[in-house]
Structures are given as structure tokens and as C-alpha cells.
Amino acid sequence: MFSKFFYTLKAKGLDVSLSEWITLNRAVSMGLEGTSLTGFYYVARAILVKNETDFDKFDLAFEECFKGIKSDNANITDRMLEWLDKSEMMELLHEEERFWLNQQEDLHIDKEDVETKFKDRLKDQDSEHNGGNYWIGTMGKTSFGNMGGNIGGIRVGGTTGYQSAFAVVGARKYKDFRDDKMLDNRQFQLAFRKLRQFSSKLDIPKTELDINKTIDSTCNNGGYLKIEMERPRKNAVKLLLLMDSGGTMIPFTKLLNELFQAIHKSNHYKDVKCYYFHNCIYAKMYKTPECENGDWIDTEWMFRNIDSDYKVIIVGDAAMAPEEFYSETGNYRGPNGGLTGEQWLLLLKQHYKKVVWLNPKMAPGEAPWREVETAVKKIFPMYKLTVEGLNEAMVKLMTR
Amino acid sequence: MENNFKSTGEYIASEELMSSVNIAMALEKPLLIKGEPGTGKTMLAKAVADALNKKLLVWNIKSTTKAQEGLYTYDTIQRLYDSQFGGENVDDISHYIKLGKLGEAFDSDEQVVLLIDEIDKADLEFPNDLLWELDQMEFYIYETKKTVKAKKRPIVIITSNAEKELPDAFLRRCIFHYIDFPNQELMEEIVKTHVPDIEEKMLKNAMDTFYEIRSYSQLRKKPATSELIDWLNAMMIGGIDPDIIRKELPFVGVLIKKDEDLEVIRRRVD
């Protein structure tokens, strides 16, 4: 039954399992959707989507599959199935509708055009207006306002009604929940919770008395004391945070500040160390984000004193000129230490077992115009600084 | 449908939420509720129980809760104690098996509503440990070699504050609902059920201010329904003049709990 919807959901990146799909079919055959498209929308969403961050993807898939079914009358289910078989027709009707709407007022569905006209009209209008077809208001046919009938217009504020599935879908009100958006502090903290490795799972001596097990064993032992010990359960993860500071990173100051705060609030690490660098890592690491010369440590000192079992998170945009990366005199702020930026990074990789690079403005896929970024990607696994990227990076840090 | 959930006198649910509850009941699957703190997730279970006239069992989850506790516990110490002092029925282990909340729900002769509150507080593996029990609605007591099977499948409602990600296998077995923050219209209805004798003017001014405050994106913790209701109550008891609400923000501490947020609001309102 309507398997096109299933594949559209998959194509939008929703991981719908077969068992959930069967549940949906069962629900529909039980008539739970109340034979209305809105009902179907809610039933399908409740069964198939398990995270509000995925609502937006679901809305997009739903719109793609069921676009064109406007009315929300009874017995829509049969028609829905029909539509899905003849999707070209649906497109056609949609076109027709659009054409008709455009005829009503010689507007072309051109975003910029609509926007300009919107602004002009906003200037002219000085009162509330509902139901007409020129002014901005509600329930009208003009391209502007909300709850209106025009397709491709601008929606002005307001919240969606519950009347029609498309009022909900079209509004894309779950857009902000998408997890490929930039993060806030709390989401950072949640992601960092992934970085846990309980010492009870490590190979260390059992030094703590396990009271519950002792009681159980003693009782099983007929009342004679039998002591049970266990490994202390503490997070054994140690973190080394290296942050790019200044220059091209300035637009991301707030984001980095949040990241920094989040790490300090997640006080469950055994140890956190933080150093700064400018553009690329060279012979010195700065102690403060101001990166003032003199207020620094030797990068080699860091290698010697901060063990290789620290997990390293490098945050930076990897945006620098190729000579800053490949030349032995490329560091224009401090000493190069006889090595190129690339060689320093390779040294770091050699020393630490787990390193990830987080980039707030990473180019998707291959980006030959960002030569250095591509080169850095070859050395360290690089992730974009979003919820999704950070989570992936944390998983990378935790896997052996 | 025999069981059908609607808004009750005390709990106003959106149409979306009602449909989710009814779907979960019809499909006999647990309903997982997520949403901002203070949007009435816990209240929902009580409302469902009231609306269907069923008993409500609440299993509050804490960070130390283990799945086993919800099923049953075996009181070895009591048994040892009894054996030493010659208590009765020491041979009978079942005497020392105490059912947990989930066990109670299964064992009940009547269908009950079981609320598993704040499941995300527990250990990451906690939901996985309950997969079989929630799916099959039965569990096995090793000590007595008995299976406890649900006499009447309970209606299970689970709430989560999204502090931890829940495992996929668990999610696939649930019906999911995200409680949106209510819009002004729905909120007025909700408020009126909790504070029935409120003046229109006070309500309107307070609501406008409340939604204005919520729209400030810099807030760390946005005030939610429960804060609004407390705030309205405080202002009514204090006999505040509705006209000064927007300007003076009386009792704002009820609404905003963080110093930084108070700062933000003071700056914006002035």
C-alpha cells in the first residue's frame, strides 16, 4: 500500500523500518486515520517518526507525495491511493491551479518579485485586513498573509491551524528542530555526554565495596559474610581541546564560546586541557584565546606532558593560505620550529590515538578551492560543527 | 472505539495529541511523549486515566533506577532475617517477591494506565532492558520460576525530556508524540481550567507579556505553562492591577528562574 510514500521518506533521510511501516498499514486498515488526510498525517507521523528533529523531513516527504490533494473531505483515503498511482496528473492539476491563481492577479511565482511586492504593499497598508484579495491579511487570495489559498506566496507570521494537513506541512514549523542546524549550549552538552567510558569497563583493580552484591552473596552463603568488590565507576575520558582563535574564526566566537562552556559544564571528565592556536598548529600553543606571544607553551612540551590517551578535539576552520600550511616559514605570528604546519599536524596525529577536527564552516564533499581544508581532511577526520557532526565526531572518538 | 480519549475538565489536549493517544491505545503500543518542560507531559497520563476512568500507576524513573525494579525485587534480607528468627513461610520464596510498578500493572485485574515518567533520567541501557517486557507484556521470575503475564494489557505512557537519546530498537516499538508549546488560543483555554475566576483583562495582559517574553531568543530557560499558571495565581492573590503587568512585571521571579534571564528581560522591557 502506497509504498511510494515509504521510499520518499527513505529518500529524505528518514530511517523508517519495515516493522513501523507494517504498524502504519495496520493502523490504516483499522481506520485510525478517520479517513481524512490530516488524520493520516498525524497517524503516519506518530508511528514513523520518533524524534522531533525529523518532523521537518517527514513534512517535506509528505508534501512531495500528497501535494495536490487539497480538500480534506471524508473518503480521502481512496483518492489518496489513486493520486499516488497517477502522480503526473497530480502535478498537472497543481500546475493548473497555480496558473489559475496567477491569473487572478498578474503575479508570477517568482520569489524575489513576490518579496518586493510584499514590501511595497506593506508600506501602503496601514490597517488590519482579512478576507480580501489585495491587502496583506488572513484567509484571502493574495500572495501575502497567512491561512490563504495562494500557492507560492509569502506567509506572514501566525501559527498553523489544525484544519488541513497542508497548513501544518507547508508551514514547516519543525524546521528549527532539524539536527543539521548549528547548535546551542544544551545540545553541545548532550553531545559531550556521549564521551563516556566508565572505568568499570576498563581493566583496573576492583577497589570498591559492592554493598548490594555483598548482601546478596552473604545471604546466599547462609549468613556468613562474603565480600564482593567492584571497579570504581567513573568516567575515565580525558579531553584535550585545541581551538583556532582570531582571524577567520571571529564570526564563530559565540559558537566556540558555547562549545567551551559546554565542555566545562560537563564536569564528568577525568581531565580537560585547553590550548589555542592561530590558523594552524606550529611550535607553540597559546594558553589564552587572545594568542599573545609569550603566553604560550611548547607544542613538544604538550606532547611530552599530555599523554597519548587524551582524546583530542581540534576546532578550527582550516582556512589558510597554502604557504601557511606547506612552508617552513609559514607561521607569520610565531616560530615554526623548523617544521611546516602540515608536519606539525602529522606529529600530533602520530602522538594521539584519537583526534577529530570540528569545522564550523566546512565545505560539503570535495572542495578543491579550499586546498588546505582538503589537505587537513586527509590527516584528521573532519566534521561540521552541527548536532549531527558533533555526534558523529564523539562516536569516532569513542570507538576503538 | 471503546476507549477514546478526549480533553477533560482539567486537561486541555490539542487534537493532534488526542489522536496520538487514541492511536497508541488502538495499536496497543507504548506512547512516548516528548516536549519542553512544563507542557504537561506528566499530567497527560493522569488525564488519560481520568478520562477512561482507569487506575493510574506511576513509575518515577531516577538516575539510579534499574529495569529490574519495575518488574520485581526479591527481598533476600527479609528472608534471611525470618529464617534466623523462625518466621513463617520461609520456604516459600514467592512470599519475598515484591512486584514493581510494571509488575503491578501486569498483575492488575483491570486495565490500568501506567506512566513511566522521565525515562531519559535512567541509564542509557535502561529502555533496552524493557523491550521484551513492553512488547510481550510478560516477564519471568527466576526465583519462583513463574511467568507474570498481563491480564489486561496496560496503557503505557512514557515521558522523556530528551536528556539522553533513546535507543532505536526501543523507539521503533513506540508511538511518538511531541507536545508543541500551545498557541495563545489553546493556552487561554488551558489557563481557564486551572484559574477559572481570572479577569479577562488580567488574562489578556499577562498572556501578551508571557508570549512576548517567550519570544526573546536569548533566554536560557523559557517559561512554560506551569510557570504561567503560578504567575497568574501569584498576581491574583497579590491583587495586581492588570495595567501594570507589562511595565512592572510583578512577581517575575515566578516566571523566570535564572539570573541571566532576568537581566535579559529587564533590558528588553525597559
Where are the domains positioned within chain B? Answer: 15-179, 184-269
How far is the C-alpha of A339 from the C-alpha of A326, rounded, in Å? 9
Final residue before a domain boundary, out of A70, A96, A127 = A127
Above pLDDT 70, what percent of chain A?
Answer: 64
Range in A155-164, B89-98, B181-190 the model is least confident about: A155-164
Of B164, B166, B175, the CB nearest to A46: B175
For position A335, what pLDDT does the model report? 84
- Residue B176: list chain A partners with CB under 8 A: 45-47, 49-51
pLDDT of res. B113 = 92
Max mean pLDDT among A251-265, A370-384, B252-266 falls in: A370-384
- Same domain assignment for residues A210 and A295: no
Same domain, A368 and A306: yes
- Among A269, A272, A213, A268, smallest CA distance to A240 is for A272
The grid coordinates listed for A186 are 544544551
A346 — contact with chain B (CB < 8 Å)? no
**A221 lies in the same domain as A339:** no
Q: Does A50 touch chain B (CB under 8 A)?
A: yes
* Residue A374 and residue A344 share a domain: yes
> What is the predicted pLDDT for the residue at A4?
81
Distances (CA, A) of A141 to A110, A169, A244, A351: 17, 19, 52, 66
Candidates A23, A34, A45; nearest CB to B27: A23
pLDDT of residue A32: 77
Global ipTM: 0.75
Instruction: Quick: pLDDT tens for A336-346.
Output: 888 888 899 99
Residue A70 belongs to a domain: yes
**Residue B139, phi-psi category: left (phi > 0), alpha (psi -120 to 50), beta (remainder):** beta
CB atoms inside a 10 Å sphere around CB B131 = 15
Tell whether A100 and A22 lie within a shared domain. Answer: yes
Q: Confirm whether A147 is domain-assigned.
A: no
**What does pLDDT average to over chain B?**
84
Split at pLDDT 50, 70, 90, the class of A371 is confident
Nearest to B27 by CA among B54, B55, B3: B3
CB contact under 8 A, B172 and A19: yes
More confident residue, A257 or A104: A257
Most confident range (mean pLDDT) of A139-148, A340-349, B87-96, B176-185 is A340-349
DSSP sequence for A106-137 = T----HHHHHHHHHHHHHH--S--BS-SSSSE
Q: Which residues of B touch A24 (CB under 8 A)?
A: none
Q: Which residues of A touch B163 (CB under 8 A)?
A: 190
pLDDT of residue B215: 81
Mean per-residue pLDDT, A266-280: 81
* Residue B9 pLDDT level (bands cut at 50, 70, 90): low
Q: What is the pTM of this model?
A: 0.58
Contacting A residues, span 211-230, partner chain B, CB-CB under 8 Å: 215-216, 219-220, 223
pLDDT for the residue numbered B154 = 92
Q: Are residues A24 and A70 in the same domain?
A: yes
Residue A156, pLDDT score: 37
Tell me the chain B residues in contact with residue A390 when contact means C-beta distances shorter than 8 Å: none
Q: How far is A172 from A56, CA to CA, in rounded Å?
A: 6
- Which phi and psi (to 5°) does residue B178 adopt? -105, 120
- Residue A369 backbone phi and psi in degrees, to 5: -75, -15
Q: How many domains does chain A have?
A: 3
Contact B19 A219 (CB under 8 A): no
Element (H, E) at B56: strand B55-60
Tell me, yes or no, whether A286 and A379 share the same domain.
yes
Same domain, A219 and A283: no
User: Which residues fall within 8 angstroms of residue A264, CB to CB, at 6 or more apart?
Assistant: A272
In terms of residue numbers, what domain contains A338? 238-398
- What's chain B's Rg over C-alpha atoms? 23
Lowest average pLDDT, out of A156-170, A218-232, A295-309, B98-112, goes to: A156-170
B57: pLDDT strictly greater than 90: yes
In the predicted model, is pLDDT for residue A98 greater than 60? no
Best probe of the B interface among A19, A42, A53, A235, by most B CBs < 10 A, is A42
Could you tell me if A221 and A252 lie in one domain? no
CATH number, domain at A280?
A: 3.40.50
Which residue matches cell numbers 480521502? A76
Residues A352, A358, A359, A364, Cα dihedral to 10°? 100
Average pLDDT over residues A351-370: 81
Provide the number of CB pairs (under 8 Å) joining chain A to chain B. 69
| pLDDT score at B163 | 67
Chain B environment of A216 (Cβ under 8 Å): 76
User: Is residue A227 located within the same domain as residue A255?
Assistant: no
A296 and A384 part of one domain: yes
Yes or no, beta carbons of B183 and A49 under 8 Å apart: no
When CB atoms are compared, the residue of A26, A190, A193 closest to B27 is: A26
Contact list, B188 vs chain A (CB under 8 Å): none
pLDDT band at B55 (very low <50, low <70, confident <90, very high): very high
pLDDT band at A75 (very low <50, low <70, confident <90, very high): very low
Architecture of domain B15-179: 3-Layer(aba) Sandwich (3.40)
Angstroms from B215 CA to nearest CA on chain A: 13
Q: What is the pLDDT of residues A316-338, one digit of tens each?
A: 888 888 888 888 888 877 888 88
Cα dihedral: A114, A116, A118, A124 (round 10): -150
Q: Which residue has better confidence, A4 or A74?
A: A4
Mean pLDDT (whole number) for A76-100: 48
Last residue of one domain, picked from the residues A233, A268, A283: A233
Q: Which of A19, A43, A55 sits opposite B23 (nearest CB)?
A: A43
Kindly tell me if the per-residue pLDDT of B151 is higher than 50. yes
A84 plus A99 within the same structural domain: yes
What residues of chain B lie within 8 A of the CB of A17, using their CB?
172
pLDDT at A136 over 70: no
Among residues A127, A152, A179, which one ends one of the domains? A127
